[in-house]
Structure 1
């Protein structure tokens, strides 16, 4: 792997500082245009979305290859002046050693952080056994450390996301991932104040990422008060964009009407946005 350039070093240091205190929103663009728009809105960092990337290629989430993911991350990391947190799926390896090799390759894309999830992709056993998941996370940690890269490692407990909403097991996994070297802990799918409080308590000072994938009665201030360090949106912005496309074309398909285009952004406004 090559040594990071000065801009990548700057982004990584800035991203690490963001995790030192407070709470920030980490939105998830799916292409260069959406990334640059979000930078213009004043966000301090961005995160990729495996789902959004896959949908933009006409694929379901999880069907994008390692090489295509690396190409996408490189493009996204270079798209803005902001640090990029990479959604790196399960680490793209059948074994811990292969996970380590994939992570090593990912470090060359310019990212500032990457996540490793413990979902198995199997319908009858959707979570990897804990020890296996820990070994894979340790392999990712070792790859980062060998490269002396100032890249944050995010450990994800996918229980609530894959239909196994066992809070006790989620907390057990998160504690194990912190012990294995995770810098940030993430349990996508938790929604209640009680669940969030339990995860923050189990993290014991390790920064916690909360997924907000849809409307919630909790405000940013509410979530910050619970001790969450960062909030990501996952595929929600991509889904919102797809929802706009579907709403725009549905009247045309069903009734031959063009009413769905009423909410379209002005071309001149988009040109001005990207011209500057």
Structure 2
């Protein structure tokens, strides 16, 4: 389930044959020259309004189901989370994830559970609700056992899928799959992870996402291209571009689907 950051990237990913795609809050933020997740003090983030404007464009560009990266629900209160899930349904999303991290620290577990209860009530039966716990990603004192306990409490609160980002070794992933009473999502492409899709499927993972990996790789290509042009005056990077006629045809088919 690769992650798109605009309508064009969504169409390209859907055209590759994936049965579902997701949005990436990081990719969307970067495309707006803003940061995501652990922001430096005072750095601007993306508002819920701006994020949903892009999410709606992504969901409207493809026929495959789209799951939204809904961050922490854009507010601590369970009512705010429920409101965000309602907006997600109205935007055409088939599912979405809610984090238990407020940008500074993990939410108290009781509040975090209440937030998933509220999300489930707003989601209805046909919306795939993913609950994400960020203790392993943040490298906080939270132990793996505590992250697994949170995940199972979120499952009991109504989450369909559980997500423990920040784990990159197969033995630990197998432990999570075994001890979490729910389908598990794993993100690949963070840092220097060498995880592969076959490895994860063999470990029992039910869903695989990429977060902002493709978006960051695209920005890396832009930077390398700019450095080549500025330093050497050459454009060898142009050999990797998709021909305009091919893109025109692809986007025309998407618009007329």
Matched-pair contact (CA < 8 Å) for 2:225–2:237 = yes
Aligned length: 244
Query: Which residue of the partner structure matches residue 20 of structure 2?
Result: 45
Query: Which residue of the partner structure matches residue 10 of structure 2?
Result: 35
Q: Which moved more, 1:93-102 or 1:250-259?
A: 250-259
Three-state SS of the structure 1 residue aligned to 2:17 is: coil
Q: Which moved more, 1:225-234 or 1:132-141?
A: 132-141
Query: Which residue of the partner structure matches residue 185 of structure 1?
Result: 162
Query: Offset at 1:101?
Result: 1.8
Three-state SS of the structure 2 residue aligned to 1:105 is: helix
Q: Which moved more, 1:210-219 or 1:46-55?
A: 210-219
Matched-pair contact (CA < 8 Å) for 2:188–2:196 = no
Query: Which residue of the partner structure matches residue 18 of structure 1?
Result: none
TM-score (norm 1): 0.83
Matched-pair contact (CA < 8 Å) for 1:29–1:238 = yes
Q: Does 1:236 align with 2:213?
A: yes
Looking at both structures, which has the greater relative contact order when contacts are Cα pairs under 8 Å and sequence separation is at least 6? Answer: 1
Alignment partner of 1:121 out of 103, 110, 113: 103
1:203-255 Cα deviation digits (max 9, x unpaired):
23x11101002564443222111110010010001011111111110122234
Query: Which residue of the partner structure matches residue 59 of structure 2?
Result: 77
Query: Which residue of the partner structure matches residue 210 of structure 1?
Result: 186
Rounded to whole Å, the distance in 1 between the matches of 2:233 and 2:202 is 49
1:179-213 Cα deviation digits (max 9, x unpaired):
11110000111111121111111223x11101002
Query: Which residue of the partner structure matches residue 118 of structure 2?
Result: 139
Query: Which residue of the partner structure matches residue 251 of structure 1?
Result: 228
Three-state SS of the structure 2 residue aligned to 1:75 is: helix
> Alpha carbon RMSD of aligned pairs, Å?
1.7
Query: Which residue of the partner structure matches residue 225 of structure 1?
Result: 202
Rounded to whole Å, the distance in 1 between the matches of 2:249 and 2:160 is 39
Q: Per the alignment, do residues 275 and 97 of structure 1 end up closer, same or farther by CA in structure 2, a change over 3 Å counting?
A: closer
Gaps of 5+ in 2: 38-44
Rounded to whole Å, the distance in 1 between the matches of 2:194 and 2:76 is 40
Q: Kindly report which structure 2 residues correspond to 1:73-112, keeping only aligned pairs within 5 A, or say none.
A: 73-112=55-94
1:101-142 Cα deviation digits (max 9, x unpaired):
2222222111000100011211xxx21121111111111112
Matched-pair contact (CA < 8 Å) for 1:89–1:116 = yes
1:14-57 Cα deviation digits (max 9, x unpaired):
xxxxxxxxxxxx00011111111111111100000000111111
Rounded to whole Å, the distance in 1 between the matches of 2:76 and 2:159 is 20
Matched-pair contact (CA < 8 Å) for 1:127–1:158 = yes
Rounded to whole Å, the distance in 1 between the matches of 2:194 and 2:49 is 39
Matched-pair contact (CA < 8 Å) for 2:82–2:118 = yes
